[in-house]
A and B are shown apart, each in its own frame.
Chain A
Amino acid sequence: MLRLTAGRVGGLLSRRTVAAFSFGSARMASRGHDVTEQADMSLPMYCDRLDTPLPDRPYRETLSPADKSLKQKEKGPWNNLSKEEKLALYRMTFNMTYAEMKRPSSEWKTVLGGIFFFIGFTGLIVLWQRFYVYPPHPRTLDDEWQSMQVKRMLDMRVNPVEGFSAQWDYEKGQWK
């Protein structure tokens, strides 16, 4: 009920307001809101994809009379076609060749640069945190406490066969 046809309202309102009121059509190109026309997604579409060698429809459907005559010639033996004609026929059916689709780009430089930049930025944030966020160290991380801890572990003979205490020479009182 909200949908007012352009014709009915056109007489009463200005052209600008009509555009705002017609919801159904996306063809606002003449108004300057959208620049491109929307493709009809319910029909077969063309795509340049590496994993789809034969798209649903040829690239160019509307052919000029010269193209149409070439298509007729295509129905005969292909040895009669010249190299340029074969290329023209290819470009009628396909937009890009596989080589063109696979062409390398410099995107990786941007990606890598962005990665490094944000890692660096994160580093700055972590540095700021170290000074403004972290609470003081617990006393168990002091060197003095750590050495008392090591002494106690050696007294207890922690892992005496292959592990911790095995590295300590009990006769000489030093690490092996």
Chain B
Amino acid sequence: MTMSLTKPAMRGLLAKRLRFHLPIAFGLSLIAAIAFKYAVTEPRNKAYADFYKQYDATKEFNAMKEAGIFESVRPSGE
């Protein structure tokens, strides 16, 4: 072979890799965070809001009392 090969890149290899991969990494992380917010936390917050909208604490307490799980107050029968 009489022709000479082109000199390969000797420096800046990490910088080149980061230039390409860092924006992708940030982008994917951002997408993951946004996806988690709207797929997980939003339904969860809504579920809690809906639960407590119709929540009657006294009624629940009496139901639990009648079931007999408390030690300080016993069911009305005893």
Contacts and interface: CB of A to CB of B under 8 A. Distances in A.
Interface of A: 152, 155-157, 160-162, 170
Contact of A160 (B44, B51, B69): B51
Interface stretch (B15-23, B29-37, B60-68): B60-68
Q: Is the interface of B mostly helix, strand, loop or mixed?
A: helix
Contacts of A152: 69
A124 B44 CA distance: 46
A157 B64 contact: yes
B60 A161 contact: no
B51 A161 contact: yes
A161 B48 contact: yes
Contacts of B63: 170
Interface residues of B, number: 10
A1 B73 CA distance: 94
A46 B44 CA distance: 66
B47 interface: yes
Interface string B38-70: 000000100110010000000010011001110
Contacts of A157: 60, 64
Contacts of A155: 64, 67-69
Q: Give the top 4 A-B pairs by smallest Cβ distance, nearest first.
A: A155-B67, A161-B51, A155-B69, A156-B69
A156 B64 contact: yes
Given A155-B64, A156-B64, A162 B69 contact: no
7 contacts: A152-B69, A155-B68, A155-B69, A156-B67, A156-B69, A157-B60, A160-B51
